[in-house]
C-alpha cells in the first residue's frame, strides 16, 4: 500500500512540476500570439494527445476503443454535458489566465492562480457546503498575502494580477464542476471532451479579436506544443492516475506546489525577480493553501 502511495505521490509531484513550468511556456507564448490563439491550439493538441491515451487504457481493460467508453445512453449524456460545461468554464479560466500572464510575472501568476484551492470553500457556500473555521482563517491569510503580492506601496493595483485573480475564481468553479461530473463519467474521456470544447470555442475568437501571423506562430510553436502535450495531456493524466493512490487532502497539497515551481521556473528560465514584499505575500498565500487542506478536528 505504501509503495502505491509513493508512486501516486510521485505522479502528482511531476504533475505539479509540469504545470509550474507551463507558466513559463504561457508567458513566452503571450509575447508572440494572443490568448485565444494560444489556448485554442494547445487545447486541440491536448485533446488529440488524449485519444491514444484513452485507447491505451481501453486496451489495458480488455475492451475495444471507444470515445464514449459505454453503450449506456445516460452515461453518454452525462459525459457530453460534463465535457461541454467544464469546457466552457475552462475556456473562460484559461483565457483570463493567458491574458493576465502577459501583464505580470510567472511567479506571481502561479501563486495567484493557486488561490483556487482557497476560493473553492467560498463557492461551496452557494451549494450549502460547510466551511470550517480553519478554511475561513486560510481565506483571511490568503487575502493578506494577495494584498502584498498585488498592491504596491502606493496602493496601485497591477492589471495582470487582477485578471489572474479572476481566472482563479473560474478555476475554482471548474474544480466544483469537475467534482460534480467526475463521479458519473470516465475522467480522461471528459478531459478529452472539455479540451475539444475549449479549442472549438477559442478558434472563432481568433479571427474576430486576433490576427496571428505565420511568423508569430513559428515563434510560439514550442510553448504551445509544451502546453498542449505536457500541461493538458500528460499532467492531467498523471493527476488522474496519481489520485487513485493518494488521499485527496495530500493530493491537493502536492498539486499546489505548482505555485512554487512557477516561481523557480520564472527565476531560472526568464530571470524574473520578486521584491521582498511580494515574496512575503507568496509565503502567506502558500501557507493559506496548506492550511486550507488540513482536515478538521474530529469531535
What tens digit of pLDDT does each residue of 33-42 get?
Answer: 999 999 999 9
pLDDT, average across residues 215-233: 91
Contact between 157 and 293 (Cβ < 8 Å) = no
pLDDT range class, residue 299, cuts 50, 70, 90: very low
| Separation CA 151–CA 114 (nearest Å) | 18
4-10: average pLDDT: 79
Would you give the distance in Å from CA 284 to the centre of its chain? 21
Tell me which DSSP letter residue 132 carries: -
Are the C-beta atoms of 274 and 282 separated by less than 8 Å? yes
Reported as a pLDDT band with limits 50, 70 and 90, residue 138 is confident
Reported as a pLDDT band with limits 50, 70 and 90, residue 202 is: very high
Instruction: Say what percent of the chain tops pLDDT 90.
Output: 20
pTM as predicted: 0.80
Band of pLDDT at residue 247, cut at 50, 70 and 90: low
- How many whole angstroms separate alpha carbon 133 and alpha carbon 139? 10
* pLDDT for the residue numbered 150: 64
**Around 78, how many Cα atoms within 13 Å sit in the side-chain half-sphere?**
18
pLDDT tens sequence across 51-101: 988 888 888 878 888 877 777 888 889 889 988 998 999 999 999 999 998
Higher pLDDT, 167 or 271: 167
Q: Specify burial of residue 70 (Cβ count, 10 A radius: 0-12, 13-18, 19+).
A: middle
Return mean pLDDT, the chain.
Answer: 81
The whole-angstrom separation of Cα 93 and Cα 101 is 12
Per-residue confidence at 156, pLDDT binned at 50, 70, 90? low
pLDDT tens for 97-113 read 999 988 888 777 877 88
Amino acid at each position: 500500500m505504501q509503495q502505491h502511495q509513493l508512486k501516486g505521490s510521485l505522479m502528482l509531484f511531476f504533475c505539479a512540476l509540469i504545470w509550474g513550468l507551463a507558466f513559463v511556456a504561457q508567458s513566452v507564448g503571450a509575447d508572440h500570439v494572443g490568448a485565444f490563439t494560444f489556448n485554442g491550439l494547445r487545447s486541440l493538441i491536448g485533446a488529440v494527445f488524449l485519444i491514444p491515451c484513452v485507447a491505451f487504457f481501453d486496451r489495458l481493460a480488455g475492451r475495444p476503443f471507444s470515445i464514449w467508453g459505454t453503450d449506456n445512453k445516460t452515461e453518454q449524456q452525462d459525459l457530453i454535458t460534463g465535457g461541454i460545461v467544464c469546457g466552457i468554464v475552462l475556456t473562460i479560466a484559461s483565457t483570463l489566465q493567458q491574458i493576465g500572464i502577459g501583464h505580470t510575472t510567472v511567479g506571481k501568476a502561479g501563486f495567484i492562480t493557486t488561490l483556487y484551492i482557497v476560493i473553492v470553500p467560498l463557492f461551496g457556500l452557494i451549494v450549502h457546503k460547510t466551511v470550517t473555521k480553519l478554511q475561513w482563517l486560510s481565506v483571511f491569510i490568503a487575502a493578506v498575502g494577495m494584498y502584498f503580492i498585488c498592491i504596491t506601496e502606493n496602493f496601485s493595483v497591477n492589471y495582470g494580477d487582477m485578471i489572474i485573480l479572476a481566472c482563479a475564481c473560474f478555476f475554482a468553479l471548474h474544480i466544483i464542476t469537475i467534482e460534480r461530473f467526475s463521479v458519473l463519467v470516465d475522467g480522461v474521456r471528459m478531459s478529452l471532451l472539455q479540451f475539444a470544447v475549449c479549442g472549438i470555442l477559442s478558434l472563432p475568437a481568433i479571427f474576430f479579436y486576433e490576427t496571428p501571423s505565420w511568423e508569430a506562430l513559428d515563434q510560439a510553436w514550442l510553448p504551445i506544443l509544451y502546453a498542449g502535450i505536457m500541461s493538458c495531456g500528460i499532467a492531467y493524466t498523471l493527476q488522474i492516475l496519481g489520485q487513485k493512490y493518494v488521499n485527496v487532502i495530500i493530493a491537493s497539497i502536492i498539486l499546489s506546489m505548482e505555485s512554487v515551481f512557477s516561481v523557480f521556473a520564472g527565476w531560472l528560465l526568464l530571470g524574473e525577480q520578486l521584491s521582498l514584499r511580494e515574496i512575503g505575500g507568496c509565503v502567506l498565500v502558500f501557507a493559506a493553501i496548506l492550511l486550507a487542506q488540513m482536515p478538521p478536528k474530529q469531535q
